[in-house]
Amino acid sequence: MELFPAIDLLDGRAVRLYQGDYDRETIYNDDPVAQALLFAAQGARWIHVVDLDAARSGTPRNREVIAAIAEAVDVPVQTGGGVRDDAAADALFEAGVARVVLGTAALEDPALVRRLASRLPVAVGLDARGREVAVRGWEQGSGRDLLDVAREFADAGVEALIVTEIGRDGTLAGPDLVGLGEVLDATELPVIASGGVGVLDDLRALAALRSTGRSLAGAIVGRAIYEGAFTVHEALATLSES
């Protein structure tokens, strides 16, 4: 299972939100590029970057920062937030991003996902409160069921589904193992878990999760690393033992 240390960008800084609430942010680093370099130096094989400003508004306020991160590190960067048309995706790839994540667009314009996935590395971000998928930076409900949406992209050519339980994101309260198991049941696509990891045992539980003979492809981790629960190196060592 791959580890994706996360850098969430808001006003050019590395932050974490609590349960997706923009009014409950914690600033961890004023220099996201330095943070990315630290992750890479500790052995990260991927870095996950989210443009929170763009996720909410659709305006790519942090694109220059994302480009600087991609240029600075020698590992692939996976980026989401506000990718709602071909031009936004193309701009990120031109900036050096290795894979783009589409969330709101996946619900509102699934044809865009298929079109992009036919020519570029794409993942679909499914951010849910319970089973309802949220859009627009997690601020609006879509009325759509997580598992139904996951099934719809089975033949879309995407590389992975990134599944976030919003109620656990940034809480360190542990991942939603039951919900992730249901997603594994519903699709044959690789599934990357996000939200709730607080201790190394949470990573062990994610690595051990099996459903219909399948396991998770990866885990995105943010606050636990920033707050010193464990390092990237320790997380990688834990996953290599699992």
pLDDT tens digits along 193-213: 999 999 999 999 999 999 988
Cα 206 → chain centroid: 15
Token representation of residue 136: 């627009």
Evaluate if pTM is beyond 0.75: yes
Q: Which residue numbers are catalytic?
A: 8, 127
pLDDT at 16: 74
Q: Say yes or no: domain 2-241 is CATH 3.40.1190.20.
A: no
- pLDDT at position 134 is 81
pLDDT tens column, 20-61: 677 777 888 899 999 999 999 999 999 999 999 888 877 888
Structure tokens at 20: 């997706």
Say how far apart CA 100 and CA 89 lie, in whole Å: 7
pLDDT in the model for residue 167: 86
Let me know: does 65 contact 32? Beta carbons within 8 Å.
yes
Is there a contact between 124 and 102 (Cβ–Cβ < 8 Å)? yes
Task: Give the pLDDT score at 209.
Answer: 97
Looking at residue 137, its pLDDT comes to 54
